[in-house]
Amino acid sequence: MSNQAATKSSNKTLLAIFWLYVLVPLVWGVTNTLAQAMKLFG
């Protein structure tokens, strides 16, 4: 039973790392795009 708990914890950690790997560049790209658009239209 403890092996299952360790696996679930490990899966949650890997999932969190994966989402950070996806979301950090996405947020950076959106922020950069909005900043460029403000320069263009502002």
| pLDDT tens digits, 1-42 | 567 777 888 899 999 999 999 999 999 999 999 999 999 998
* Rounded Cα distance, 9 and 1, in Å: 13
| Cut 0.95: pTM above it | no
Instruction: Give the pLDDT confidence score for residue 7 in this predicted structure.
Output: 82
DSSP string, 1-42: -HHHHHHHHHHHHHHHHHHHHHHHHHHHHHHHHHHHHHHHH-
